[in-house]
Amino acid sequence: MVIAGHDSESTASNAQQSLAISRHRLTTRLTHWGWAGALFFLFLSGLQIFNAHPALYVGQQSGFAFDNSILSIGPVRERSGEVRGLTTVLGLSVDTTGVLGVSGPEQERAYRAFPAWLTLPSYQDLATGRVVHFFFAWMFAVVYSIWLVASTINGHLRRDILPALADIRALPATFIAHLRLRFEHDGRYNSLQKLSYGIVLLVFFPLMIATGLTMSPGMDAGWPWLVQLFGGRQTARTIHFVVMLLLVGFFTVHIAMVFAAGPINEMRSMITGRYRIRRSVDRGGRT
């Protein structure tokens, strides 16, 4: 739907017409910012909870009398007496002193998996971290449910998220165009956006909610099939952590693409719903 327009950048044969179109509905915009805020606090409080036991496992049991971890982060004391941070993934250990395991200035070393500036609260406090995490987890689940129902009803899910066969065929060309930082400003989601948003919204988000519920003893009692579905609470915790890392990667690329494609136009569309596009018209005013 066209809201407004004006002519600019005339050439000998045609002109560029700038049009402000309606791109995002109110429910899409509100839920976008709702889960963006919730995920921010979930990330920080989740790392606080992880610091209480900074290791991941597969299966039902965690190793206390034995070591079956697939990832661990923490301080290790050398024979010389020096303490360094060590991150071990599938048996491969990397010195991460100053970032993970051991962080902070030399005079005030913090011996914890993730540094203080990445956790909420910044000091070690599992109880507060759990309260914050559970509050925003329920907020995220409610906001996501509202988006899913509204997007199904208003057609946003079918039109803008689920990729069609033509979108799949256009993926290679779209991917190359993005690598060259060439973007089409026609107001529609391209094939790469549809695929990435579809994976995040229809795979990652439900996985985060389902694995989060699986780690709750109360939910295990009411829905024991959840534990069986994910192959154990420890596996669910590992999946939860891995999906979190994938979401951080997605949001990093997403923000970078917003700046590359034009931050003012992109942010305006997600705040007001209006998105400005340009199209060629001849001197008679025809596109």
Question: At which of 93, 113, 133 does a domain end?
Answer: 113
Rg of the chain (C-alpha set): 24
Q: Are residues 140 and 196 in the same domain?
A: yes
* CA atoms within 13 A of residue 279's CA, in its CB half-sphere: 13
Q: Does the residue 282 lie in any domain?
A: no
Question: Same domain, yes or no, for 260 and 133?
Answer: yes
pLDDT at position 9 is 41
CA–CA separation, 50 and 157 (whole Å): 34
- 192 shares a domain with 96: no
Q: Which residue has better confidence, 275 or 224? A: 224
- The backbone torsions φ and ψ at residue 238, rounded to the nearest 5 degrees and listed phi first, read -65, -45
Q: Report yes or no on 266 lying in a domain.
A: yes
Residue 180 sits in a domain whose CATH number is: 1.20.950.20
Q: Which of 176, 167, 242, 182 is nearest to 208 (CA)?
A: 242
Is the same domain home to 85 and 148?
no
pLDDT value at residue 36: 93
Shared domain check, 132 and 214: yes
Alpha-helical (H) ranges within the chain are 26-52, 126-154, 156, 165-179, 191-199, 205-214, 217-222, 225-230, 233-261, 263-271
Instruction: Give yes or no: residues 35 and 172 share one domain.
Output: yes
Which helix (H) or strand (E) segment holds residue 86: the answer is: strand 83-89
Tokens of 157: 């899910």
For the cut 90, the answer to whether the pLDDT of residue 106 exceeds it is: no
69 and 164, same domain (yes or no): no
Please write down the long-range contacts of 266-273, taking CB distance under 8 Å and 24 or more positions apart: 269/23, 269/24, 270/24, 270/29, 270/32, 270/33, 271/29, 273/22, 273/23, 273/24, 273/25, 273/26, 273/29
Checking if the pLDDT of 86 tops 50, the result is yes
Same domain assignment for residues 89 and 230: no
Q: How confident is the model at residue 176 (pLDDT cuts 50, 70, 90)?
A: confident
In a domain, 93, yes or no: yes
Query: What is the rounded average pLDDT of the residues 59-83?
Result: 79
Residue 278 lies in a domain: no
pLDDT confidence tier of residue 117, bands split at 50, 70 and 90: very high
1-19 pLDDT, tens digit per residue, is 334 444 444 443 445 566 7
What range does the domain containing 85 cover? 55-113
Angle between helices 233-261 and 205-214 (to 10 degrees): 150
pLDDT band at 51 (very low <50, low <70, confident <90, very high): very high
Is position 103 within any domain? yes
- Model's pTM, two decimal places? 0.83
| 277 falls within a domain | no
In this predicted structure, which of 44-48, 52-56, 104-108, 157-161 has the lowest mean pLDDT? 104-108
> 45 and 66: one domain?
no
Name which residue leads in pLDDT, 201 or 105: 201
The pLDDT of residue 5 is 44
pLDDT, average across residues 190-209:
91
What value does the mean pLDDT take over residues 130-138? 96
The domain total for the chain is: 2
Mean pLDDT of 129-140: 96
Which comes out higher in pLDDT, residue 248 or 218? Answer: 248
